[in-house]
Amino acid sequence: MPEQSKAIEVRDLDVRYGSLQILHGISMDVPKGRTVGIVGESGSGKSTLAKTLVGVVRPSAGSVTMGGVSVTSARGARRSQLRRAVQMIPQDPYSSLDPRCTIGEALAEAVDPRRANVKKHQELIVHWLETVKMPADSIHRFPHEFSGGQRQRVAIARGLILEPTVVIADEITSALDVSVQAEILALISRLRAELGLTMVFISHNLAVVRQVSDEVAVLYRGEVVEHSTSSELFGNPQHEYTRKLLSAIPGVPGFSIDPGPREGASQLVARAC
């Protein structure tokens, strides 16, 4: 793969919390404009990987590079540039918006954290509310006036308003009802195509990951045990753990819906993280 086409390069990444090693030798590339899904059960290290990608957690070994800039060692202006270019969309739309701020203020704050000036950025805010299909008057209303799905739309607008090149989405549908999940997945699919986003899309639910990902990496106990294109992974899974995850999805060709033993795959998709 030519250098230019890689938006994210992860090399031999180890992450520890104290004496406990959470991630083991993770390497992966995310090509520009593509979405790589990360799937794995609760506790497998997905959020730790997300935090390491955005530079919140420092690895004990290995490197993360975004657009040729090292996330782990960037300082000063390069660090600020990265902070704009790489955005994380939060999991929980109930806790990610400040209840005291209007939706307009929440978006203005994303544009300029020093001063949430709605008037100054009104045009941009209105544009993003339209883009994520929020009612126009929501600019003056408060988070509690909206449903979980609508709040997640606002959280997505907040993540995208600075036009990042890379988006890290960690369990962004896990707190939502299934029908609302589908709406948010449709929104994310549309935006990633329209904006040409590079995305790392994380979920414990393989059925969810499947809907938006060009490639899928399977994380098991802090290791990537399989990484291939979505069609390869779903058509011809190599690792036993991947097969287990797949067997929990109803209607995947070649896989029975048989829930199997009690500790089987159904439990692997049941927990939000």
Ligand X SMILES: Nc1ncnc2c1ncn2[C@@H]1O[C@H](COP(=O)(O)OP(=O)(O)O)[C@@H](O)[C@H]1O
The residues of the shown chain that bind ligand X, judged by CB under 6 A, are: 17, 22, 40, 42-48, 273
Residue 90 C-beta: closest distance to ligand X, Å: 13
Q: Smallest gap, in angstroms, from Cβ of residue 204 to ligand X?
A: 7
We find the least distance from the C-beta atom of residue 170 to ligand X, in angstroms, to be: 7
Which one, 41 or 215, has the nearer CB to Mg ion?
Answer: 41
Kindly state the smallest distance separating residue 73's Cβ from Mg ion, in Å.
26
Position 269 contacts Mg ion (CB under 5 A): no
Which residues on neighbouring strands pair with residue 181, listed in sequence order? none
List all residues 6 or more positions away from 267 whose beta carbon is below 8 Å from its beta carbon: none
Pick the closer one to ligand X by CB: 44 or 247.
44
Q: Which residue has the tokens 């106990």?
A: 221
Residue 37 binding partner per list Mg ion, ligand X, none, with a CB distance cut-off of 5 to 8 Å that depends on partner kind: none
> Who contacts 113 (Cβ-Cβ below 8 Å, separation ≥6)?
none
Euclidean distance between CA atoms 142 and 97, whole angstroms: 9
Q: Do the beta carbons of residue 64 and residue 70 sit within 8 Å?
A: yes
> Which one of ligand X, Mg ion, none is in contact with 152 (Cβ closer than 5 to 8 A by kind)?
none
Q: Minimum Å distance from CB 45 to ligand X?
A: 4
Closest to ligand X by CB, 45 or 143: 45
Of 33 and 43, nearer to ligand X (C-beta) is 43
Smallest gap from Cβ 202 to ligand X, in A, equals: 7
Q: How many chain residues are in contact with Mg ion, going by CB under 5 A?
A: 3
Task: Give whichever of 220 and 234 is closer to ligand X, judged by the CB atom.
Answer: 220
The residue (of 24 and 83) whose beta carbon lies closer to ligand X is: 24
Q: Which of residues 39-98 bind Mg ion (CB under 5 A)?
A: 46-47
Q: Give the footprint of Mg ion on residues 219-238 (CB under 5 A).
A: none
Q: Which does 86 bind (CB under 5 to 8 A by kind): ligand X, Mg ion, none?
A: none
94 binds, among Mg ion, ligand X, none (CB under 5 to 8 A by kind): none
- The minimum distance between CB 58 and ligand X, in angstroms, equals 12
Please report whether residue 273 would count as binding Mg ion according to CB under 5 A: yes
- Beta-carbon contacts of residue 108 (< 8 Å; ≥ 6 apart): 115, 116, 117, 118, 120, 121, 125
Nearer to Mg ion by Cβ, of 172 and 248: the residue is: 172
Would you tell me which residues interact with Mg ion (CB under 5 A)? Answer: 46-47, 273
